């Protein structure tokens, strides 16, 4: 029976191959949406607990992902963050690691690594032997995974106090077992400006566009015996990621009793066509996000946020607006930071089942 349960994830592998073939069809005339979308899931328990509102707030090693300009605000000389989360009841693993450090009083560098993958997907094409019997020991397993490496640099500009800029050079590698893989390269740029208790930020992702060049191993994609659907093996193609801009503003308010409140809003602007967002246009779609962090003595934090505003069509046929809520807690002590977030998928019910909760845990450590 254990083999039967492990066969289930093969659907994801097949879906990846079907996506490749569909991208080849549309790439001739238009840019596909949701290219390299694994880089928009988000990283860090703090950020995900606040609804992914970080462009104006990021100030540790995670800034290499959210806005590299924020690397200049990290409190420790050396900072590192690790994160692990599981999506869709543990089928999808999302892992992240980052490290950052200053070069001098005006510049800083960082490196970030992201992996999103599904492991142990069953290849059942040889499940039935030449005699027509099921033979479980002929099942082979493979992984589908997306990787990103980001090298970040940040610097203070001129004599304008509070103004910082940063940039990422990122390398993308996407792999579907031995069947297909892609390489891509892109550049991000970010700005942060602090004035009193106000925080402003702008992040431009893929400002040069990011192109993934897919290579297909046709020899490994032989059809399944008895397949009468007429499906064909996809060919190598390119996948283009158009620029995305995120504008953020935040404000820190001191409360009585050594409490603080940090509120922020981000506007995520995509340029790859009309999306199901609050503001949906053919040229630009805007997805707003909001987050709040209540802190006590900079030791304990309670967080909440909303994001992913979408119009959902219910089973009754009516349409209604839904948001994706998130909650989080954090503890910071002697350079060690533990952040936990609980995020819910925007789809509340599917076939009568309640929505899935995602738990994100990240650990950070700063060395002064």
Task: Indicate whether 224 pLDDT > 90.
Answer: no
Query: What does the pLDDT read at residue 368?
Result: 75
Residue among 335, 357, 337 nearest 346 (CA): 357
Least confident range from 14-18, 209-213, 280-284, 360-364: namely 14-18
Mean pLDDT of all residues in 263-276:
93
Mean of all residue pLDDT scores within the chain: 84
Domain extent for 167: 2-367
User: Each residue of 148-202: pLDDT tens digit?
Assistant: 999 999 999 877 889 999 999 999 999 999 899 999 999 999 999 999 999 999 9
User: Each residue of 99-148: pLDDT tens digit?
Assistant: 999 999 899 999 999 999 999 999 888 888 888 888 888 888 999 999 99
DSSP 125-187: TTSB-TTS-B-GGG-EEEEEEEEEEEEEEEEE-TT-TTEEEEEEEEEEEEEETTTEEEEEEEE
CATH number at residue 272: 2.40.160.40
Number of residues that make up the chain: 368
Alpha-carbon gap, residue 341 to 360, rounded angstroms: 5
Q: Check: CB of residue 316 under 8 Å from CB of residue 333.
A: no
**Could you tell me the CA-to-CA distances from 143 to 16, 54, 98 in Å, in that order?**
11, 31, 23
Exposure b/e, 302-326, CB count within 10 A at least 16 = b: ebbbbbbbbeeeeeeeeeeeebbeb
User: Each residue of 234-265: pLDDT tens digit?
Assistant: 777 888 999 999 999 999 999 998 999 999 99
Alpha-carbon gap, residue 359 to 78, rounded angstroms: 27
Query: What does the pLDDT read at residue 66?
Result: 97
Residues 6+ apart with CB under 8 A from 18: none
Q: Check: CB of residue 77 under 8 Å from CB of residue 101.
A: yes
Q: Check: CB of residue 265 under 8 Å from CB of residue 290.
A: yes
Query: What does the pLDDT read at residue 26?
Result: 37
CB hemisphere CA count around 253 (13 angstroms): 11
* Residue 117 CA to its chain's centroid (Å): 12
Backbone angles phi, psi at 313, to 5 degrees: -90, 115
pTM: 0.83
Alpha-carbon gap, residue 244 to 329, rounded angstroms: 29
The two structure tokens encoding residue 50: 């606040």
Task: Indicate whether 226 pLDDT > 70.
Answer: no
Query: What does the pLDDT read at residue 217?
Result: 86
Q: How many domains does the chain have?
A: 1
Q: Check: CB of residue 113 under 8 Å from CB of residue 96.
A: yes
User: Each residue of 316-349: pLDDT tens digit?
Assistant: 778 888 888 999 999 999 889 999 998 864 444 5
More confident residue, 84 or 33: 84
Q: How far does the chain reach from its first CA to its final CA, in angstroms? A: 53
Tally Cβ neighbours within 10 Å of residue 212.
22
């Amino acid at each position: 029976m254990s083999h039967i349960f492990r066969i289930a994830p093969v659907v994801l592998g097949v879906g990846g191959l079907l996506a490749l073939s569909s991208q080849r069809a549309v790439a001739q005339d238009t840019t596909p949406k949701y290219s390299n979308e694994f880089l928009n899931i988000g990283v860090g328990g703090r950020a995900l607990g606040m609804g992914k509102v970080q462009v104006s707030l990021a100030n540790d090693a995670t800034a290499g992902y959210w806005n590299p300009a924020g690397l200049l605000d990290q409190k420790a000389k050396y900072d590192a963050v690790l994160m692990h989360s599981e999506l869709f009841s543990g089928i999808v693993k999302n892992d992240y690691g980052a490290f950052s450090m200053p070069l001098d009083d005006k510049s800083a560098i960082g490196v970030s690594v992201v992996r999103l993958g599904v492991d142990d997907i069953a290849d059942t094409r040889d499940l039935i032997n030449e005699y027509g019997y099921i033979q479980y020991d002929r099942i082979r397993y493979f992984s589908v995974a997306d990787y990103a490496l980001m090298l970040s640099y940040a610097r203070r500009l001129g004599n304008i106090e509070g103004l910082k800029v940063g940039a990422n050079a990122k390398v993308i590698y996407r792999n579907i077992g031995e069947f297909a893989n892609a390489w891509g390269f892109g550049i991000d740029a970010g700005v942060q400006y602090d004035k009193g208790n106000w925080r402003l930020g702008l992040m431009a992702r893929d400002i040069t566009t990011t192109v993934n060049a897919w290579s297909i191993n046709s020899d490994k994609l032989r059809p399944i015996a008895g397949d009468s659907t007429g499906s064909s093996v996809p060919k190598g193609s390119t996948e283009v990621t158009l620029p995305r801009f995120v504008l953020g503003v935040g404000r820190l308010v001191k409360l009585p009793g050594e409490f603080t409140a940090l509120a922020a809003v981000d506007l995520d602007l995509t340029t790859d066509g009309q999306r199901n967002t609050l503001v949906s246009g053919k040229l630009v779609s805007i997805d707003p996000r909001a987050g709040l962090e209540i802190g006590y003595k900079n030791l304990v934090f309670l967080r909440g946020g909303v994001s992913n505003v979408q119009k959902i069509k219910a089973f009754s046929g009516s349409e209604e607006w839904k948001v994706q809520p998130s909650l989080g807690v954090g503890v910071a002590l002697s350079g060690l930071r533990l952040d936990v977030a609980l995020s819910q998928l925007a789809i509340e019910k599917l076939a009568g089942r309640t929505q899935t909760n995602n738990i994100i845990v990240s650990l950070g450590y700063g060395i002064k």
